[in-house]
Structure 1
């Protein structure tokens, strides 16, 4: 069983988290059944965009990295407090631990900014939210990241993306990397893509 840790910050974007929960649930029920998603956060209750309350299965203090094969991070809204958790040492430490052992890390939109802040993307290629005068891309570059203006960038074990529009593609790419091209195609087909 391949386990994915869905690392959530207060203020995360509900849609960007839901693509991971949906794709990996489809794989469990209709695909090869080899993946399990586990939610995690710094707080016992998280409020995402749209004011939905989420209770993560694990707290960051309870995570044993050896039990997981991949890390998934949705972006969020600054106005909803996203960066308060996403830039905290507990959050950044988990990112560093996953990267240190070469496990796959998939980040959607501004979910790549904590990757940049953690240092795991320094000197590597990545992308982030590209609209609004490239403000977020400039922030990512300030962390030493070689920003590539593409929808999705894969650099070794790290997947980053440029906007919420790429969210499903990131989830499918992660599924493909954890299972197989054929299994991913099968899930896409069943989901109508």
Structure 2
């Protein structure tokens, strides 16, 4: 059984990933680990405190990673350890799933130059922030969720769609289509 990593850093948008991680762990029976730049506590956008299970440097040494999920959060600088992990997982064809502003890290690692993607971060926002644009805009598609091979990206408001795209990629509900449809309908009816 492979591990699913989730990158967490200060001010990450925890609400965007809770459904996906909950079902990956409890329905998919996969091990979910949080990874950070270090093992210090980070505070999410919601104000909850999280302590990473391992560092990104430790994660690079794992050989049983099935995928990495990157939640949204502010536009931030990127450290070498995250770039190295992303490049390693991309070379291995592992799932890379990023939502909202999370695709910024895929862009800085050079992974969005060869695939279609989406993000919540507009060019106008980048100009407003006065930072270098991490996105190759020619590959951007204005959709809620985009899956191109092993890379899944989504806008922040599409966190349910994002979760279901991850479930499909990982085969979480394979052979359980009625259960999956019931879950989706229950969530959408609220």
Tell me if both proteins adopt one fold, taking TM over 0.5 as the criterion. Answer: yes
TM-score, length of structure 2 as denominator length = 0.82
Q: Larger % of helix: which?
A: 1
In the superposition, relative to structure 1, how do residues 182 and 130 fare at CA in structure 2: closer, same or farther (>3 Å)? farther
**Residue-by-residue CA offset, 1:40-84 (whole Å, 9 max, x unaligned):** 111221111122210111111211342111111101134xxxx14
Q: Which residue of 2 aligns with 1:165?
A: 157
TM-score, length of structure 1 as denominator length = 0.81
In the alignment, structure 1 residue 42 sits paired with structure 2 residue 43: no
Q: Which residue of 1 aligns with 2:49?
A: 53
Alignment of 1:170-189 (within 5 A): 170-179=162-171, 180-183=173-176, 186-187=179-180, 189=182
Alignment of 1:102-113 (within 5 A): 102-113=93-104
Q: Which residue of 2 aligns with 1:68?
A: 65
Q: CA deviation at 1:112?
A: 0.5
In the superposition, relative to structure 1, how do residues 113 and 145 fare at CA in structure 2: closer, same or farther (>3 Å)? farther
**Are the counterparts in 2 of residues 41 and 56 from structure 1 also a CA contact under 8 Å?**
yes
**Are the counterparts in 2 of residues 38 and 57 from structure 1 also a CA contact under 8 Å?**
yes
Q: How many residues of Structure 1 are paired with residues of Structure 2 in the alignment? A: 179
Aligned-pair Cα RMSD in Å: 2.5
Please list every run of 5 or more consecutive structure 1 residues that lacks an aligned counterpart in the other structure. Answer: none
In the alignment, structure 1 residue 24 sits paired with structure 2 residue 20: no
